[in-house]
Chains A and B, each alone.
Chain A
Amino acid sequence: MNVSVKLFGTLPRHVPGYDARSGLVVALPEGADVGRLIEQLGIPASRLGMVSVDGKLVKSSHRLQGGERVHVFQRIFGG
């Protein structure tokens, strides 16, 4: 199954060849969860903030079906 992935903040630095305009299409084994996707992308756990699937935040144990839009964010701080 495939999911489309967009990386935010400075996360593209960790994924060689990432194109900000088109994002990435990632092939995953059936039943893979978000944690598996992040591992496959090669993003270090320490760099991960949050992940949304089709516009809603999910936990890393969230199981993917294929065809979703996955957005990956860094830890944030602000004001």
Chain B
Amino acid sequence: MKLIRVDMTNATVTTRDVPEEFTNLGGRALTSLLINAEVPADCDPLGPDNKLIFAPGYFSATPLVNTSRLSVGAKSPLTGGIKESNVGGTVARDLARLGITAVVVEGRPEDGKTFVLKIDENGEASLADAGRIWGSRTYEMVEQIRDQLGPDYSVTGIGPAGEMQLSAASIQTTDFDGRPCRAAGRGGLGAVMGSKGLKALVVHKKGNAPAPLADPEAFKTAAREYARAVRADEFSGEVLPELGSAVLVAPINAAGALPTRNAREGQFEGADHISGETMAQIIRERGGKTTHKGCAQCIINCSNEYVDREGKYVTSSLEYETIWSMGAMIGNDDLDTIARLDFLCDDIGLDTISTGVAVAVAMDAGYKPFGDGRAAIEMLEEVAGGTDFGKVIGNGPVAVGKHFGHPRVPVVKGQSMAAYDPRAIQGMAVTYATSPMGADHTAGWVVDQSLEDFGGTLDRFSAEGQVEASRNTQIHMAAVDSVGICDFAQSGLAAPGGLENVCKMIAAKSGKAFTEADWTDLGTRVLKAERDFNRRAGFTSQDDRLAPMFYEEPLPPHNKVVIISDEEMDKTFDF
């Protein structure tokens, strides 16, 4: 299997076999272990010593469904620690079909040169001058590349925010229909790509050299079983196809955990206007698509196409986190404005979560009133225009807090939280505080376990059991992100015998025995490497804490604060 190294300093590309110690790894395991081994922890994230690594999940381009997940890793300019951000679309499948295990982008051009990295149908990589593609927004970037190369390439690249090396810059990648609307959003990895002068990674879609399966029949049998479980599950088989992740708006609001107006409240009076049910109704009435395939190998189709009153495409896909960050978090209950802001983030190349929270902090500081959607749109256009204030917004919530001297900045390790207020779900406080990624909901989502009223096992307002729940989920997710199974297809893992089935597939691909204990060891190994990197980058247990507002300000309507003690937080990683 191939590992491609791209030296941006000398504009050279070398392709070698994957070194022995990194074989049988993929996704987050590969990016995090490589970064910990090769990137100096104290380096400038935007300097030549940082490395930007693209790695498809271990299962990408196998017969298993919902596995086109690409992990992108680097030292983060937003957190100063290690980062893995993963994204769907088609690129992970495309790379894996070409037998490519990772692309490692190193160095930095001295003279301001900019490039596009192309990988052709034979898996040959080459750098070309970005020319006038540099400077484009992402939808235009994709169009220009398609004009040059035709439709057979996935495009993974940055917009103006990444070119300006702003800390909330995303890396966007094309969806199943070729639109750059899928984001490796978190951690400012778009800025790292921009610092390397790399506008886009362009990968041929029709490779025919995927990693061989040691036991194809055993793999296919297990994969069929997994797909059956994903289809049979109510959430992944019925709810997500009809409503997408936006279905979460109403229940999380009901739980009093939907951060509203920069997390001053946990319920938004406009939630009905921005719920998944309302969104689906609007899309249906206007002739858009409520059910849409966004990623290769997907059988869930949680994506959608949001259209305007004339039925014209606005954005894909409108999802829970963005509806929150550009909705409740900024006090905006207008879905059309949210959809426009989502499109702008994709087009400019910005993380919708960090950017929405940056706007929320600015509004909280009095710059504009909450609920002013037009002001939010103007702030995003300022980012694209490169104004001084635009750069403040594009650098994320901490930069905005500093700019206004405003202390209410809902972050951990410099990264904003997501759409679950930790004061209303204490387990999320543990995940946000201790994840090596900074406040990241996907690193250990314990919301379902915490809603004990109907079926959960934890009291969400009690500290009891939260550390253990978060630890176990974080270990599990580190392994999930490494094999590259979509978060929403985890129903296949949660089904009876699901984990055993996944272990069978790892063994059937590698040809080596793989047990459930090995699964836990894989997740633990990844977290250990990430924490080791962060420790060497200067992080201490004091960085495993939430922003003061979460400990000090009770959140209506339940009026709770985070009650997990520092001692308990520090027990999360007892290895």
Q: Which of B238, B243, B251, B557 has the most CB of A within 10 A?
A: B251
Contact of A52 among B254, B320, B442 (CB under 8 A): B254
CA distance A77 to B252 in the complex (A): 11
CB contact list, A1-56 vs B, under 8 A: 8-10, 20, 46-52, 55-56
Interface size on A, residues (CB 8 A): 25
A62 to B323, CA, bound (A): 31
Q: How far is the CA of A60 from the CA of B447 in the complex (A)?
A: 19
Chain B neighbourhood of A49, CB < 8 A: 251, 451, 454-455
Whether A76 and B248, one on each chain, are in contact in the complex, defined by CB atoms closer than 8 angstroms, is yes
The answer to whether A9 touches B451 (Cβ under 8 A) is no
Q: Which residues of chain B are near A58, meaning CB under 8 Å? A: 453
Q: Using Cβ atoms and an 8 Å threshold, which residues of chain B touch A8?
A: 247, 250-251, 275, 277
Whether A9 lies near B239 (C-beta < 8 A) is yes
A-chain residues with CB within 8 Å of residue B490 when the two chains form the complex: 77
Q: Which residue, of B275, B448, B453, has the highest number of chain A Cβ atoms within 10 A?
A: B453
Between A and B, how many residue pairs show CB distances below 8 Å? Answer: 92
Q: Which residue of B lies closest to A59 (CB)?
A: B453
Provided the pairs A51-B454, A60-B454, A76-B447 are in contact, do residues A10 and B248 lie with their beta carbons within 8 angstroms? no
Closest Cβ–Cβ distance, residue A71 to chain B (whole Å): 6
B504 in contact (CB, < 8 A):
no
Q: Does B568 contact A (CB under 8 A)?
A: no
The number of residues on chain B lying at the interface, defined by a beta carbon within 8 Å of a beta carbon of chain A, is 36
- A50 in contact with B247 (CB, 8 Å): no
A77-B250 contact in complex given A55-B557, A60-B454, C-beta closer than 8 Å: no
Q: What 1/0 flags go to B428-445 for Cβ under 8 Å of A?
A: 000000000000011001
CB distance from B341 to the nearest CB of A (A): 20
Contact B454 A9 (CB under 8 A): no
Instruction: Write out the residue numbers on chain A whose beta carbons fall within 8 Å of the beta carbon of B276.
Output: 9
Contacts of B445 in A (CB 8 A): 78-79
The answer for the CA separation of A20 and B234 in the assembled complex, in Å, is 20
**Docked pose: A55 CA to B260 CA in angstroms:** 15
Q: For the complex formed, measure the closest distance between the CB of A77 and the CB atoms of chain B, giving whole angstroms.
A: 5
Interface residues of B in 361-388 (CB under 8 A from A): none
C-alpha gap A71/B454 in the complex (Å):
14
A9: chain B residues at CB < 8 Å are: 239, 243, 247, 276-277
Task: Report the separation of the CA atoms of residues A66 and B455 in the bound assembly, to the nearest whole angstrom.
Answer: 26
Q: Return the contact of B239 from the options A48, A51, A60, A74 (Cβ within 8 A).
A: A74
CB 8 Å contact bits of B139-156 with A (1 = contact, 0 = none) = 000000000000000000
Q: Is B442 a contact of A55 with CB atoms below 8 Å?
A: no
6 contacts between A and B (CB under 8 A): A8-B247, A52-B254, A55-B256, A76-B248, A76-B251, A77-B448
A residues with a Cβ closer than 8 A to B are 8-10, 20, 46-52, 55-60, 71, 73-79
If A76-B248, A78-B488 are given as contacts, then 18 extra A-B residue pairs at C-beta distance below 8 Å, sorted by A number, are A8-B250, A8-B277, A9-B243, A48-B454, A49-B455, A50-B251, A50-B254, A50-B255, A50-B451, A51-B454, A52-B254, A55-B267, A57-B254, A74-B234, A76-B247, A76-B251, A77-B491, A78-B487
Shortest 3 CB-CB distances between A and B: which pairs?
A52-B254, A73-B251, A79-B487
